[in-house]
Amino acid sequence: MITTLSSKPPIFTSTVIQSDRQSLITFYQQVRQISEQICKPLAIEDYGIQSTADVSPPKWHLAHTTWFFETFLLVAHLPGHQVFHPKFGYLFNSYYEAIGERHPRPQRGLLSRPTVEEVYRYRAYVDEAMRSLLTNLTPQLESLIELGLHHEQQHQELLLTDIKHIFAINPLRPVYQPSLPTQPSSPPQEQWLDYPSGLYAIGHDQPNFAFDNESPRHQVYLQDYWLASRLVTNGEYLEFVQSGGYSQPEHWLAEGWATIQAQQWQAPLYWEQIDGDWWMMTLGGMQQLDADEPVCHVSFYEADAFARWAGKRLPTEAEWEVATAQVPLQGNFLETGRLHPMPAIARTRPDQLFGDVWEWTQSAYLPYPRYQPAAGAVGEYNGKFMCGQMVLRGGSCVTSHSHVRSTYRNFFPPATRWQFSGIRLSA
Amino acid sequence: MITTLSSKPPIFTSTVIQSDRQSLITFYQQVRQISEQICKPLAIEDYGIQSTADVSPPKWHLAHTTWFFETFLLVAHLPGHQVFHPKFGYLFNSYYEAIGERHPRPQRGLLSRPTVEEVYRYRAYVDEAMRSLLTNLTPQLESLIELGLHHEQQHQELLLTDIKHIFAINPLRPVYQPSLPTQPSSPPQEQWLDYPSGLYAIGHDQPNFAFDNESPRHQVYLQDYWLASRLVTNGEYLEFVQSGGYSQPEHWLAEGWATIQAQQWQAPLYWEQIDGDWWMMTLGGMQQLDADEPVCHVSFYEADAFARWAGKRLPTEAEWEVATAQVPLQGNFLETGRLHPMPAIARTRPDQLFGDVWEWTQSAYLPYPRYQPAAGAVGEYNGKFMCGQMVLRGGSCVTSHSHVRSTYRNFFPPATRWQFSGIRLSA
Amino acid sequence: MITTLSSKPPIFTSTVIQSDRQSLITFYQQVRQISEQICKPLAIEDYGIQSTADVSPPKWHLAHTTWFFETFLLVAHLPGHQVFHPKFGYLFNSYYEAIGERHPRPQRGLLSRPTVEEVYRYRAYVDEAMRSLLTNLTPQLESLIELGLHHEQQHQELLLTDIKHIFAINPLRPVYQPSLPTQPSSPPQEQWLDYPSGLYAIGHDQPNFAFDNESPRHQVYLQDYWLASRLVTNGEYLEFVQSGGYSQPEHWLAEGWATIQAQQWQAPLYWEQIDGDWWMMTLGGMQQLDADEPVCHVSFYEADAFARWAGKRLPTEAEWEVATAQVPLQGNFLETGRLHPMPAIARTRPDQLFGDVWEWTQSAYLPYPRYQPAAGAVGEYNGKFMCGQMVLRGGSCVTSHSHVRSTYRNFFPPATRWQFSGIRLSA
Amino acid sequence: MITTLSSKPPIFTSTVIQSDRQSLITFYQQVRQISEQICKPLAIEDYGIQSTADVSPPKWHLAHTTWFFETFLLVAHLPGHQVFHPKFGYLFNSYYEAIGERHPRPQRGLLSRPTVEEVYRYRAYVDEAMRSLLTNLTPQLESLIELGLHHEQQHQELLLTDIKHIFAINPLRPVYQPSLPTQPSSPPQEQWLDYPSGLYAIGHDQPNFAFDNESPRHQVYLQDYWLASRLVTNGEYLEFVQSGGYSQPEHWLAEGWATIQAQQWQAPLYWEQIDGDWWMMTLGGMQQLDADEPVCHVSFYEADAFARWAGKRLPTEAEWEVATAQVPLQGNFLETGRLHPMPAIARTRPDQLFGDVWEWTQSAYLPYPRYQPAAGAVGEYNGKFMCGQMVLRGGSCVTSHSHVRSTYRNFFPPATRWQFSGIRLSA
């Protein structure tokens, strides 16, 4: 089947994937440190901005991930723990109804206090208390801590995603990281990989960490299908734009058409036409559109319309997972040891099935057969969002390496564009 | 498996299902006549109301279904046909982008003209022209006319659904049909029917009419599952309400919880508590809540929350279809020959799998593998709505008999309540 | 001063102004009858439309004015009166908080019931009961009945204003009255009438009827000022439009500029450019713009911007009243005996100071010194609206003749355009 | 008449009122310095918050006032001036259409860049350039600079008003200035000062600075009236609250009643009931409600409703100005030399007619007879807002001393509450 994939060695040599050799303590320290490293290039002022309802201020991410450990680990399991501040539970609970009242999400950007410095002190205070807890762990706690760390890694991706948005809506177009690694190769020829029909199993059943929504592993019947060997590029998407794709209703779902009319979308988010040339905003600032990079920051509606315009379709999540189950992990992920998040779209190896950009599927985000969320507040982590969202697969250049696996299910509403989301075609 | 179902004969003896014996002309006349019969009890004033964005004025339904024949049959295929009015294309196109500009949907209730009398003249004019066309048909036209008639039958259901809403929001609570047939029997014991795991085929592949979204027939793998032998009753749902179900977030999807907070829902649509007693609005006017009838006018969010509260779940559409594929057609459908639409909820035979109320499934409305919409404007009929909606199965007391089949896929956004929608549990 | 005014005899020979010779009973019958005459050309369907939040369905006007008599006269003062329907108080109270709960104003168009026929029966029932009351009157009741009749006359103006809007938003552009009287003369030369500075008295203190907001009569000091001898014409306003007035912020109040941007106004309401020619919707249907008629259906913002563009200003209400105090009543008002409401803009005698169109002033609608609203619910008639509105003076072609007096204060929010409102310049 | 006023010496000994003895240079330096002093207690994070659409981030105020000098003085009149940053014109223009495009007002809080440090550098850069200009002035430039300084003083008041709001909506309730001066005396007996009817002159005609909206001085005729000798206190307003004032429509203007229903107002802004006790947020943090202080942070609607409940009314602006024309300047204003802004409500000398809180009048904000705004962009300063707003008079504890004069016209929409606005009764 997928025999054409490159055999180059993975470009990341150190990872934060928890292994037998690596204690949970080290993992904890690494993850917590990376969140702060990501924020290093920020000015104090950048920490507080909520540039749109989807975005949370970087300060909020730093505090919320800390609140997760304080609430689910320290308060619940460390006798005598004093909470850092009595109001932080109210301020930094994201959506856990079982925990209690919360500060309204759209008002996260209105809070100058706590200051950035106080948030860092909060982090240090919780890390210090966690050190006690980490020395004497039950398996249940281990698993909760692991969840907390994977949770924080998801917020690391959100940090970079949100920072990009915060900078992009600023007329001064600030730069997050001036020199970004580039890979000047052009994309390989698109190939069509074919997969026979049959019964397949998808879903997680390994000992390593996975979120509850990846389980249970179960059988699905697939008809034979084709998958493109590489992602759709900016150049290919530009053709769609220039051929009038955004003004021809026949390519669009009804909701998608209504959305692009209401939002006056004419191109992917962050694309801008200046004096006839196309530019895009990246974490490295404004750059001219590179036709060879994978297209990014498109909504499901746009991915779906592009596919229909191209005479193809998006894959289902089962088709995607079956196709990638055997593919080695490689790609331009957010590195862990030495941090260098990629540009908006890093120039990338366009033949890989993982990384670079999240890939929209045509699957709605629904529970797997016999899915059971965990008991208690942690059960709200994934399950209650299983309505109105579409599944994305594969991971992006700002995804933590340890999150990239074939069973991982990312999900967003179909109009979402601020994520690093792109397109792989199917047929 | 489903061995417990009653063997009583179907209660409808004449149907409008097109058969070999029945010419398309007769079918055409019957369907067109029923739409007008449904409107008989209306005052002129009732024809023009759009009580909420989902509802269309009865006058609009009568004209739109006529426009469908004029546009897709007469204009396209009857040489020399003069359109009845040059502006009616603009006024009565529902959502066909390929046909051209349309009057905005939320403003359908603002049009006093054309008058009801003019709309009836429009119907007569088109029926007259269709008579010519019907005498000399190609197979392609036959199929288009059949689509137009099934389309009109869908609008017959909408007519009754919308009339109920138009009357329910009126403080005078008018009555559509004073004496409604009742069936005073109490519901049978709930049983749990079990189905083994395995590969099943679902979807339409018979010669009779079906919508494009029911095809292609394809294989699915199902794990073994249980299905309740009857629908959830008002009495059972009232327990959920009275136990505080609407104020306990743990039963609800996040979107569902947000919706009931924002809309201040405390019970199904049309339920009203007056001096401590529960009443419900029906097409027969206000009636005391009957604990034995199937619960109706619940959203997907409420169906899903009820199921979780009850320790069960909703079935998938594949589970539902497999279970019902062999069940004979019977139920309280909208009858055709002599019309007597049922009350809001007709007292019903609660052991049947078809009819009475639409049954929410946990399946998102998505294309079947290799689904292809028809070419041209008619291709917009179903396909472009395959996002953001949930599937309902089975038909209701206001559904045309000829629409009730195991493969039929009804679909609505998850917050929809004005449809005759209820709950069957699964496990 | 105003010596140039025409000496032609008034064109209305019979009026409904209550005089000594005319009993209140006759006045009552005339007024009640005119409301129904106005609705004669309507189809049943036209009675129920609320084409925008400002508009009320004609049916509602007919019922509300009747409710006014039933509530303030019959229920309060006719022993043993049975209300026609227990819910009509809820449905047809406009804004009297002291009377109790009301049906929400924006939902007036959602009510198919009561039917038009029931509303006419309601009118007949109340008229019958009023006959008893009218035979034996105290002065206090006389004054309340007079208020009720002037109130109904205000609604007669609203009926015509609203009917015009209901027809104008309908793509079929129905015609209310096909042949409308025209007066083909062209406007006289504009003259500037000057008034010396000094102390003047304004406000009502005569025995005849006036609303409470016209009192008390009081002194004001005016600087000397000029008033244009005639209204601004369509032709003059068109110059403003064509010179780019709607895209030049310098002419506009900040709120006005924000409004025309948000609403995308480019010309007065009901003006439409078709193939390069300007048309306007009238009660007689679509007509080509007549450059010589007074401009109509402009908001205060537009009136104010036009005046600034013209190097002039709008008069204050005191300036207007002082100037017109001595002018005989004449103009194209809504006639009473034989009804012929004027077209959108009747061709008119453009030298007159009363009638044709309401004239925006630069005065905010505020209480006169020592103004006291009446006690009880009737006190809500005028006083509670004295904020956020601008005063208009003079009356229009759809105003009842008996309402046209120099002290009358009409008032609307500054963005209002569906009224018959125009412009007289001042300096 | 106003013979009861205290003869205590004014409590401010040094002022920034420009006098003959004081050069414009000193005035310039003082004003610019005070803006920065006001921001001294802020954390970097506080500078960027826009807590509601009315509020601007402190950083924005610092930059906008600087932009005013750069645009109207340096760019226009200093040959060879290089603008500090080409985008700052776009970012910091408030509402001058004649200057060009602007960053949307509701998005001022979304800008992390320029940083606070960059804004201070901008201030220094412009101050440096202004030094050149200040050495060689024409009278026209002098007057523009004076306008710029009074403009900046208005923004100093806004800074404190906005900072209070930014802190008040933060659940942590930060403190701007911990120890605030208090004046523990209780309010004097309320007296009613009476003024005879007659012709009076109001408006500015002195050589000292005034805004254009205070001119021309002109005659008005006033009927005799009474004015309360002191402001309404918290204790008096609490009586209104506790007697059910917020749930009795009879006290309220229709718009006011609609506003308190929609906004769910139950008391003045910043009042909070905690365990049965009333507290209020102040610049000194949360404090128990002091019954003797003037009530503050009420809207015009609340001021008007309170007055009606009390059987009184609000004064007109002419009544207010005539009454105060002879009163010496004294009060708890924002001091200039050594800065100590007062608490939310400073405990105050409640017998004075100036200062402490702005006093709502019943006058709409309209042009004085023959008012002419200045030519060019500066003409947009005041004139274009003369619609939809009510006049306040007198100045508050956060108003610059040099702004407090009898002719000064402050104005805000009637629902405004975040200003330091209170109530003086009239009759």
Residue A113 contacts by C-beta under 8 Å, 6 or more apart in sequence?
D43, D45, D46, D170, D172, D174
Are D103 and A171 contacting, i.e. CB atoms less than 8 angstroms apart?
yes
In the Cβ-directed half-sphere of C213, how many Cα atoms lie within 13 Å? 17
Cα-based torsion angle of the residue sequence A71, A73, A77, A81 in order, rounded to the nearest 10 degrees: -60
Chains that touch A (3 or more CB pairs under 8 A): B, D
pLDDT for position D216: 96
> How far apart (Å, rounded) are the C-alpha atoms in residues B74 and B134?
11
| C interface with B, Cβ–Cβ below 8 Å | 43-51, 87, 90-91, 103, 107, 109-116, 166, 169-172, 174
Are C422 and C358 contacting, i.e. CB atoms less than 8 angstroms apart?
yes
Mapped onto helix, strand or coil, the DSSP state of residue D272 is strand
Whether C22 has a pLDDT exceeding 90, the answer reads: no
Q: Which residue has the tokens 């009544």?
A: D319
pLDDT for position B3: 28
pLDDT for position A23: 84
| A414 closest CB neighbour out of B218, B301, B388 | B388
The residues pairing with A199 across neighbouring beta strands, listed in sequence order, are: A221
H-state helical runs in B135-263: 139-168, 234-242, 254-263
The residues pairing with A43 across neighbouring beta strands, listed in sequence order, are: none
Task: Give me the amino acid identity at A174.
Answer: P
Average pLDDT, chain B: 87
Radius of gyration of chain A (CA): 21
Which pLDDT band, with edges at 50, 70 and 90, does B378 fall under?
Answer: confident
Which residue, among A233, A238, A239, A260, has the nearest Cα to A249 in the 3D structure? A260
Determine the length of chain C: 427
Task: Show the beta-strand stretches assigned E in D30-100.
Answer: none
List pLDDT tens digits, range D98-146: 888 999 999 999 999 999 999 999 999 999 999 999 988 888 899 999 9
Residue C212 contacts by C-beta under 8 Å, 6 or more apart in sequence?
C371, C372, C373, C374, C381, C382, C383
> How far apart (Å, rounded) are the C-alpha atoms in residues B109 and B115?
12
Indicate which of B39, B44, B45 best probes the interface with C, i.e. most C CBs within 10 Å of its own CB.
B45
Residue A2 contacts by C-beta under 8 Å, 6 or more apart in sequence?
A193, A229, A323, A326, A327, A353
Indicate which of A101, A102, A221, A225 best probes the interface with B, i.e. most B CBs within 10 Å of its own CB.
A221
Q: Count Cβ–Cβ pairs < 8 Å, chain B vs chain C.
A: 91
| B45 closest CB neighbour out of C116, C172, C174 | C116
Whether B18 has a pLDDT exceeding 70, the answer reads: no
Indicate which of B218, B387, B416, B426 best probes the interface with A, i.e. most A CBs within 10 Å of its own CB.
B387
Q: Count Cβ–Cβ pairs < 8 Å, chain A vs chain D.
A: 90
Touching chains C and D? (3+ Cβ pairs < 8 A)? yes
| D interface with C, Cβ–Cβ below 8 Å | 95, 97-98, 199, 218-221, 223, 249-250, 252-257, 300-301, 304, 362-364, 366-367, 369-370, 380, 384-388, 390, 414
CB burial of residue B215 (10 Å; 0-12, 13-18, 19+)? middle
Task: Check CB contact under 8 Å for D112 and A46.
Answer: yes
pLDDT by residue for chain A (427 residues), tens only, comes to 222 223 332 222 223 344 444 589 999 999 999 999 999 999 999 999 999 999 999 999 999 999 999 999 999 999 999 999 999 999 999 999 888 899 999 999 999 999 999 999 999 999 999 999 998 888 889 999 999 999 999 999 999 999 999 999 999 999 998 876 555 567 778 889 899 999 999 999 988 899 999 999 999 999 999 999 889 999 999 999 999 999 999 999 999 999 999 999 999 999 999 999 999 999 989 999 989 888 999 999 999 999 999 999 999 999 999 988 765 444 444 543 633 343 333 334 445 556 689 999 999 999 999 999 888 888 898 899 999 999 999 888 888 888 888 899 999 999 999 999 999 999 9
Q: Closest residue of D to C216, CA-based?
A: D223
Using DSSP, how many helices (H) and how many strands (E) does chain C show? 10, 11
How far apart are the CA of C418 and the nearest CA of chain B, in angstroms? 16
Touching chains C and B? (3+ Cβ pairs < 8 A)? yes
List pLDDT tens digits, range D282-321: 998 999 998 988 899 999 999 999 999 999 999 999 999 9
Task: Check CB contact under 8 Å for B254 and A199.
Answer: no
| Comparison of pLDDT for B188 and B39, the residue scoring more | B39
D176 contact residues in A (CB cutoff 8 A): none
Using DSSP, how many helices (H) and how many strands (E) does chain A show? 10, 11
Task: Check CB contact under 8 Å for A221 and B223.
Answer: no
Average pLDDT, chain D: 87
Indicate which of A94, A224, A387 best probes the interface with B, i.e. most B CBs within 10 Å of its own CB.
A387
Q: Count Cβ–Cβ pairs < 8 Å, chain C vs chain D.
A: 78
Sign of torsion, CA D250 D254 D258 D259? negative
C170 contact residues in B (CB cutoff 8 A): 110-113
**Longest Cα separation, chain C:** 66
Which pLDDT band, with edges at 50, 70 and 90, does D256 fall under?
Answer: very high
Segment among B315-324, C30-39, D349-358 with least mean pLDDT: D349-358
| Comparison of pLDDT for B121 and C231, the residue scoring more | B121
H-state helical runs in A9-138: 24-39, 58-69, 76-77, 88-92, 116-134
Show contacts of B213-216: CB within 8 Å, 24+ apart. Answer: B213/B367, B213/B368, B213/B371, B213/B382, B213/B383, B213/B386, B213/B409, B214/B368, B214/B407, B214/B408, B214/B409, B215/B368, B215/B371, B216/B368, B216/B369, B216/B370, B216/B371
In this structure, what token pair is assigned to residue D410?
Answer: 């402050």
Q: Which residue has the tokens 């110059």?
A: C239
